[in-house]
Chains A and B, each alone.
Chain A
Amino acid sequence: KQEVTQIPAALSVPEGENLVLNCSFTDSAIYNLQWFRQDPGKGLTSLLLIQSSQREQTSGRLNASLDKSSGRSTLYIAASQPGDSATYLCAVPYNAGNNRKLIWGLGTSLAVNP
């Protein structure tokens, strides 16, 4: 059974810091891993999808890495800004035929202070 864990649960940093969010999963047989952003009371915005064959994926100030063998992914945010304040979620698909349900972590709640 796939379990996804995210640490830390919460993080508060001053503006400008580079930071790392962690995601771990118990079953390394994954097809990909998605990182999402969720603002309070809002929807889920996909940030990055990293394929199982990739080690890194970048979008602007965001960089996601994936180490399948150790069951870990990290999301690196460079030069953090107050607008980055949100909850960051990672999710992996459980693939069985046409079913691709996502298994989710609880998220890291990030506060970037001006």
Chain B
Amino acid sequence: EPEVTQTPSHQVTQMGQEVILRCVPISNHLYFYWYRQILGQKVEFLVSFYNNEISEKSEIFDDQFSVERPDGSNFTLKIRSTKLEDSAMYFCASSDQGSNQPQHFGDGTRLSIL
């Protein structure tokens, strides 16, 4: 069964450094998402992406965050200058055309900011 893959599984970075989290969505999916989960808290929506542009972003997704789909397969989340509070599990998801299609998630990247 096709699946969403995320790399790396764990990233440790010094505060102030840039990080890029990578995702390969399911190949025929059209909608892409990033979510994050701070330890012990709810999963939170960050950004959705469709037709090569951002559909919506949350208030968390400030100027330090950006997303790209540089080729036909990868979908990346970049944090330019990481802060301690960016430490979280980051999940990528994708879904097919249609409002009732499920979102399929990757295994996540655990980001630890020191």
Write the residues of chain A forming the contact surface with B, with a CB cutoff of 8 angstroms: 31-32, 34, 36, 41-46, 49, 51, 89, 91, 93, 95-106
Stretch at the interface among B13-21, B44-52, B71-79: B44-52
Contact A98 B104 (CB under 8 A): no
Contact B100 A43 (CB under 8 A): no
B contact patch SS? strand
Contact B105 A43 (CB under 8 A): yes
Residues of B within 8 Å of A97, CB to CB, are 55
Count of chain A to chain B residue pairs whose CB atoms are closer than 8 Å in the complex: 68
Given contacts A101-B33, A104-B42, A104-B43, contact A42 B108 (CB under 8 A): yes
* 25 sampled A-B residue pairs with Cβ under 8 A: A31-B99, A31-B100, A34-B102, A41-B89, A43-B108, A44-B91, A44-B105, A46-B102, A46-B103, A46-B104, A51-B100, A91-B43, A97-B55, A98-B31, A98-B50, A98-B55, A99-B48, A99-B55, A100-B31, A100-B95, A101-B33, A101-B45, A101-B48, A104-B42, A104-B43
Interface size class of B (residues with CB under 8 A): 20 to 34
Residues of B within 8 Å of A99, CB to CB, are 48, 50, 55-56
Task: Please give the distance in Å from B15's CB to the nearest CB on chain A.
Answer: 22
| Cβ of B86 under 8 Å from chain A | no
Residues of B within 8 Å of A46, CB to CB, are 102-105
CB-based nearest A residue for B40: A106
Contact B43 A43 (CB under 8 A): no
Task: Please give the distance in Å from B95's CB to the nearest CB on chain A.
Answer: 7
Contact A102 B45 (CB under 8 A): yes
Q: In the docked arrangement, what's the CA distance between A98 and B102, Å? A: 14
Residues of A within 8 Å of B35, CB to CB, are 102
